[in-house]
Structure 1
């Protein structure tokens, strides 16, 4: 099931942070949202999850247009956010964190362990005792057990060493390929994100300065650099 944004403007109060964004993420694909700090990436993710009311435009999942600023409705439509702070119950075990997040139509626990096998040996360990990488994997697992149609992952690498990120990000590709979810990935590690994504956009001060196929953007680092510096809106050839 696809995610479609049409003319989406997002921000706080009457202040727009992301302006007039058009984007389509097909089911089973990964779109990376890149850009410097303060460019509007987290604002975008919170708006898609219904945690912030949009200031304009539409969000559609499949054929369903979502009402504005209603997180419960967005969640029922299949949108699930993995926030940058992970939001785990640190005193509960891995198993308990997953069980408490599962809803009636959610995925079986065993299926989550097949998608994220690194969690299996940590099944009875409290979330607060996990490594940073394991905690991030558990946060993704808590989202997956809700059987999302659209999976939003905000800064998967937050606070993690690059070597850990390098082992985590391929799981995003595996999830899209094996669940059919449309995945939106906000990520600061540009090279690693482009290795697992199908498409990407660069946001700078709330505007898209570059968009295209991930493989094309990987091949033109000079265009990425120009986009991060806020060059005119451009589309990568592909």
Structure 2
């Protein structure tokens, strides 16, 4: 597991300072603060409609922030400019995967790869099952293979901050059990900050360092993943909105 501490005087590798996210002028997530070091996996948990996907798309610049700042390596990202966020190292794996379904696995990876990023063959070391499917159209892959491709496509962009929204969407639990440990490996081997939105709570907590529970736009619970996993009653209460939000 990553050392989550940030050395005194050093800028965190990723920060949210008072971020307000929403649609139009309506806030969905309010005054969110995060400070994460390289190699940290943060699990973002919470019931449907809590604002988790809105937060992810806002960090990636696809939605305008209604307030606050997002910083990568101490540098603030411009608001609502996804190309600038991507250039700074923020890469989103969306919940719909957004693959080019008529292109092959290799072609999807080739189009996404940044100069200086890991080559396709090196990336396939994390996805041996996908290596055999490089010449297959993305639309012909199984759901699990498509999710592998979506994550692999993010990795060839050399992310500093990897946002994964609902990796388990539409997948059988047995497939999720195989996929989620890859998140831990990515953080450990690349040093990327990984922010993972996930409904399979216990599986997410097994691979995460830290976790937050978002309820009605506020952080209802925050702590180490191990602490939260050991207290399922407190987790359930947070999901049901039966705890006071964490003070801002």
Q: TM-score, normalised by structure 1?
A: 0.96
Among candidates 10, 13, 20, match of residue 31 of structure 2: 20
Shift of 1:234: 4.4
Q: Which ranges of structure 2 fall in alignment gaps of 5 or more residues?
A: 1-11
For the pair 1:192 / 2:203, whether they are aligned, the reply is yes
For the pair 1:61 / 2:87, whether they are aligned, the reply is no
Shift of 1:117: 2.2
Partner residue, 1:6: 17
Partner residue, 2:109: 98
Among candidates 226, 232, 236, match of residue 215 of structure 1: 226
- Equivalent position SS for 1:122: coil
Detail structure 1 runs of 4+ shifted over 4 Å in the superposition.
none
8 Å contact from structure 1 (residues 45, 152) kept in 2:
yes
CA distance in 2, matches of 1:67, 1:204: 27
Aligned residue runs from structure 1 range 1-238, under 5 A: 2-230=13-241, 231-234=243-246
CA distance in 1, matches of 2:28, 2:246: 20
Q: TM-score, normalised by structure 2?
A: 0.93
Shift of 1:122: 1.1
Greater Cα shift, 104-113 or 130-139: 104-113
Cα RMSD of the aligned pairs, angstroms, is 1.1
CA distance in 2, matches of 1:107, 1:25: 24
- Equivalent position SS for 2:132: helix
Q: How many residues align?
A: 235
8 Å contact from structure 2 (residues 14, 74) kept in 1:
no
Q: Deviations over 1:215-238 (max 9, x none)?
A: 000000011011001121249xxx
CA distance in 1, matches of 2:169, 2:69: 29
